[in-house]
Amino acid sequence: MITLNSRSRYVWAYLMITPTLLGTLIFWGWPVLQSILLGFQRSENFGLVNHWVGLDNYVKLFNDGEFWQNLRNTLTYVVLFVPVTLVLSTLFAVLLNTKIKGLSVYRVIFFLPQVTMPAAAAMVWVVLFAKDFGLINHILGTKVAWLSNPHYAMLVLVIVGVWGAIGLNMLLILAGLQGIPKSLYEAAEIDGAKRFNKFRYITVPMLTPTLFFTSIILLIGATQIFDSIYLIIGKTNVALPAVRSLVYAYYQNTFVYFNPNYGAAIINILLFINIILTGIQFALQKKWVIYD
Amino acid sequence: MQTASARKINSIIHLILIISAIAMLVPFIWMVLTSLKTTTEATQIPIRYFPDTPSLRGYTEAIRQSAFPHYYMNTILTAIMKTVFPVIFSSMAAYAFARLRFPGSSFLFALIISVMMVPNPVFYTPQYMMMSDLGLVNTVTALWITSLISPFATFLLRQFFLGISKELEEASVLDGCNPFQIYWHIMLPLVKSALVAIVIIQLQWAWNELQWPLIINSSPEKMTLSSGIATLVSMFGTDYPVLMAGAFMAVVPMIVLFFIFQKQFIEGIAFSAHKG
């Protein structure tokens, strides 16, 4: 063991964690407390003077039809985006886990959207989904107003989201696949197991820890959807109410309508939802994740 | 017979992968093609795939009529600050948490890690008020000052330090090194590949981030490429070649970086996930 006397070791340890600890407390810890407080207050001049109003902001929020609509939109996005991304990422990871030519080329291509700036990607998606001169309508032979039709706007956001997320998640799942011991498959082959059965009884169970990890990251990310709504749908679009998320509503109320308290109430609800979701996932983890 | 069916399966796999890969690439191809078209060509019906005579007007207009050079400088500076400091601070903290047992270490580590679960927008209003109190709204400083640390990098690097054999540092303790010297001279070189991966991940996050730059800086000279691109829409409306040229110029540096470091990039992420 380390022979340095323990007191001087402690001093070094505390010194080395100080920047990270201080930064965390000042820029994240304190803001979380502030955000919770703001939810119970009414501010003048954007937080300069604060009055305690108890649950007023939340009462107003829960009586606001728009809030429930935004909550529904956020959850709809999560429910569509997370499973589709997981399934497609798993599919591509499984396909790329075979001894196939050009593996690294595919890996790079699928990962490319991950390094692409969302703001820049959004510009091109607007052009691709345009009603009259858009490539998508041209290929499909349709004349759909994808971006301004409330029935399709959410679909566009899910497609863009999945496009951006497949690469990273495929990679995480691929890493998980490559961690499965080959001996398991060899043993199954001796027993005469079919391709599908090997997948069903070896690959899937051994992959559950990776899928769990990936789904948590995806879920937390998905509840925060903002960029693509702001950039692709836009504030004057008639389809906005059909896709407006909690984070978008937070942004709008806080920095467009200058009501930081109402904004804080909205974003605190999301914080609460994320804590619950993570809690549920960790509780369910025991039921379906298999650790060896 | 088996090889025939194996070959059949192989070609089906290739077909699926090729079609999907093309679908993934379409936005990039369309971005470049549109950026080289004239305004009429970009919105012509029936659709035109290629510009008649490729023109760079989109690029010159985007640079001339917007604060593009400012966006670039601000983004580069922000990305450097949001990479160098978090990597230094995180690697130090990660080493301490992985190797030096001290009172409160598991509590303090949990405290730092728990931040990863909080949706980022929760921080934004209070951080905005903080910046406003300090008179930093609409400054380049405000773009990076709130992100000088990274719980994510701390978590990841701790995993790497945990995987390194203890014998190396024991020898240096006998030589009279203090923990900082061990960290600096012995441990850091051992996790070089992880550091490269984290540098690239941090750069990419900083380069692409939209919401905070949008909130904190509204004057064009203080915007990043991300928030700047978002405002190009209001300036150029439906002049799609200019918008695409701006978008292309914004993504090129990260894509070039990705192609140069794609091995470290991909393996860094895959490896750290595997350890986590």
For residue B276, what pLDDT is reported? 39
Element (H, E) at A51: strand A49-52
Local structure of A257: helix, strand or coil: coil
Cβ of B250 within 8 Å of Cβ of A119? The answer is yes
* Tens of pLDDT, residues B209-223: 999 999 999 999 999
List CB contacts (< 8 A) between A291 and chain B.
Answer: none
Pick the residue of B124, B145, B161, B165 with the most A CBs within 10 A to test the interface with A by mutation. B124
Q: Pick B229's closest partner by Cβ from A9, A10, A123.
A: A123
* Tens of pLDDT, residues B29-42: 999 999 998 888 88
List CB contacts (< 8 A) between B151 and chain A.
Answer: 20, 24, 28
Rounded Cα–Cα distance for residues A42 and A51 (Å): 5
For residue B273, what pLDDT is reported? 55
Query: What's the mean per-residue pLDDT of chain A?
Result: 90
> For residue B272, is pLDDT > 80?
no
Q: Which of B25, B51, B19 is nearest to B37 (CA)?
A: B51
Cβ of A121 within 8 Å of Cβ of B247? The answer is yes
List CB contacts (< 8 A) between A268 and chain B.
Answer: 122
What is the share, in percent, of chain B residues with pLDDT greater than 70?
A: 96
Pick the residue of A9, A123, A276 with the most B CBs within 10 A to test the interface with B by mutation. A123
- Full DSSP string of B203-257: HHHHHH--HHHHHH--SGGG--HHHHHHHHHHHHTT-HHHHHHHHHHHHHHHHHH
Q: Is the Cβ–Cβ distance between A229 and A243 less than 8 Å?
A: yes
List CB contacts (< 8 A) between A20 and chain B.
Answer: 89-90, 92-93, 112, 149, 151, 154
> For residue A186, is pLDDT > 80?
yes
> For residue A202, is pLDDT > 70?
yes
* Tens of pLDDT, residues A151-179: 999 999 999 999 999 998 998 898 888 88
CB-defined contacts A:B, below 8 A: 295
Q: Is A153 exposed, middle or buried (0-12, 13-18, 19+ CB in 10 A)?
A: buried
B39 min Cα distance to partner chain A (Å): 12
Q: What is the mean pLDDT of residues A47-71?
A: 92
For residue A110, what pLDDT is reported? 92
> For residue B143, is pLDDT > 90?
yes
Rounded Cα–Cα distance for residues A116 and A86 (Å): 20
* Tens of pLDDT, residues B228-252: 998 888 888 788 999 999 999 999 9
Would you tell me how many other CB atoms lie within 10 Å of the CB of residue B104?
Answer: 12
- Full DSSP string of B57-95: HHHHHHHHHS-HHHHHHHHHHHHHHHHHHHHHHHHHHHH
For residue A291, what pLDDT is reported? 64
* Tens of pLDDT, residues B15-27: 999 999 999 999 9
B62 min Cα distance to partner chain A (Å): 13
pTM of the model: 0.91
> For residue B1, is pLDDT > 80?
no
For residue B74, what pLDDT is reported? 96
Element (H, E) at A41: strand A41-44
What is the share, in percent, of chain A residues with pLDDT greater than 70?
A: 97
Query: Cβ contacts of residue A132 below 8 Å, gap of 6+?
Result: A143, B43, B45
Chain centroid to Cα A77, Å, comes to: 10
Q: What is the mean pLDDT of residues B121-130?
A: 96
> For residue B275, is pLDDT > 80?
no
Q: Pick A115's closest partner by Cβ from B204, B214, B230.
A: B204
Cβ of B10 within 8 Å of Cβ of A98? The answer is yes
* Tens of pLDDT, residues A77-114: 999 999 999 999 999 999 988 877 888 889 889 999 99
Q: Of B172 and A140, which is predicted with more confidence? A: A140
pLDDT confidence band for B4 (50 / 70 / 90): confident
Token match 């399966």: residue?
A: B9
For residue A1, what pLDDT is reported? 45
Cβ of A123 within 8 Å of Cβ of B100? The answer is no
* Tens of pLDDT, residues A27-51: 999 999 999 999 999 988 887 788 8
Q: CA-based angle A10:A14:A19, to the nearest 5? A: 165
Q: Pick A224's closest partner by Cβ from B119, B183, B229.
A: B119
* Tens of pLDDT, residues A226-260: 999 999 998 889 999 999 999 999 999 999 999 99
Q: Is the Cβ–Cβ distance between B213 and B226 less than 8 Å?
A: yes
Strand partners, A43: A50
Q: Of B54 and A75, which is predicted with more confidence? A: A75
Rounded Cα–Cα distance for residues A135 and A128 (Å): 5
pLDDT confidence band for A4 (50 / 70 / 90): low
Q: Of A248 and A143, which is predicted with more confidence? A: A248
A216 min Cα distance to partner chain B (Å): 10
List CB contacts (< 8 A) between B262 and chain A.
Answer: 108, 111
For residue A181, what pLDDT is reported? 84
What is the share, in percent, of chain A residues with pLDDT greater than 90?
A: 59
Q: What is the mean pLDDT of residues A207-218?
A: 86
Cβ of B269 within 8 Å of Cβ of A172? The answer is yes
Q: What is the mean pLDDT of residues B46-56?
A: 85
Minimum mean pLDDT among A128-137, B60-69, B82-91, B169-178: which range? Answer: B169-178
Cβ of A116 within 8 Å of Cβ of B255? The answer is yes
Cβ of A16 within 8 Å of Cβ of B180? The answer is yes
For residue A292, what pLDDT is reported? 54
Cβ of A113 within 8 Å of Cβ of B24? The answer is yes
